[in-house]
Amino acid sequence: MPYVIKLLHPKGERLPEQSSGCAGEMDWAIDHCALGLNCGGHRRKLLSCFGRSLASLDGKPADGQIMFWGEWEPPSRYKKMKHPSLGKDGLPSYIHTPSIRYIQEEERVLNTDPYVLGTTFYYSCCQQARLLAKPDLPENSIILFGSRFKHRFILDTVFVVERAVESIKLTATAREAIIAVHPNRPAGMSLFAGKMRTDTQTEMFSFFLVYRHRTPEDLRDRLSRLTIWIWPIMESTGLTIKIRGLRVHGWKTE
């Protein structure tokens, strides 16, 4: 039986450590826990890059610049957003273009989970030890990734499980962001590939919430729409849900 699981990026927007003007480079996020310091936790970034999106399920995919909330702990180039209402009420202060570099041997940095760049999404680590009795998730299990803001769940990614895969299939970039950050990756953790949209797979695929680039005037309005309250959706489906653990926000469909 497939699972429905809700997982949170525990912190809010990732900001530059020091104010360095309106633009700059942000390096890998440091894994403070691994260094024996207070854990900083994963944060989200508003990401901008070339991508593909759908305006309807039966429509043709559109290619172009897209913008979306996501977890990207490797480096990025950021710009401060200039709209006066941004940076408040859970709205972003910065927009990031993802970049990447090799991790140095002595570095302890954070992984990225879920990984949604490239042709396949991956779920590799987050809460697996506590969430899963065994490192397995049935096909078509759904993981809702997002953040919390003022008791609301800000959905950013819907991950539909396809199967567990070997890490050898990863691109060099994905390997660095997912695997190389864990020099002592715990045994028993699975790497799950997301079910992706194809010409024949037009339903039950993984996606993140996105809009095409617009003018600054409607920026705040459109960013506000990235907030989706998930509970009414869960209730509207009529699913009976079973709480697997208060701390992990996991449910099993019945």
Spell out, one character per residue from 27 to 46, where the chain touches other proteins: x when CB under 8 A holds, - when not. Answer: --------------------
| Shortest Cβ 39–other proteins spacing (Å) | 25
CB of 52 or CB of 186, closer to other proteins: 52
Residues 166-205 that bind other proteins (CB under 8 A): 171-174, 176, 196-197, 203-205
Burial class (CB in 10 A: 0-12, 13-18, 19+), 146: buried
Burial class (CB in 10 A: 0-12, 13-18, 19+), 141: buried
Verify binding: residue 110, other proteins, rule CB under 8 A: no
Coil/strand/helix, residue 100: coil
Spell out, one character per residue from 57 to 86, where the chain touches other proteins: x when CB under 8 A holds, - when not. Answer: x---xx---x-x------------------
| Shortest Cβ 38–other proteins spacing (Å) | 26
- 100-132: string of b/e by CB count within 10 Å (b at 16+)? beebeeebbbbbbbbbbbeebbbbbbbbbeebb
- Whose CA is closest to 113, among 39, 190, 167, 42? 42
Rounded CA separation 34/50 (Å):
33
Binding site for other proteins (CB under 8 A): 1-2, 4, 47, 49-57, 61-62, 66, 68, 98-102, 104, 116-119, 140-142, 144, 155, 158, 160, 171-174, 176, 196-197, 203-212, 222, 225-226, 228, 230, 233-234, 236-239, 253
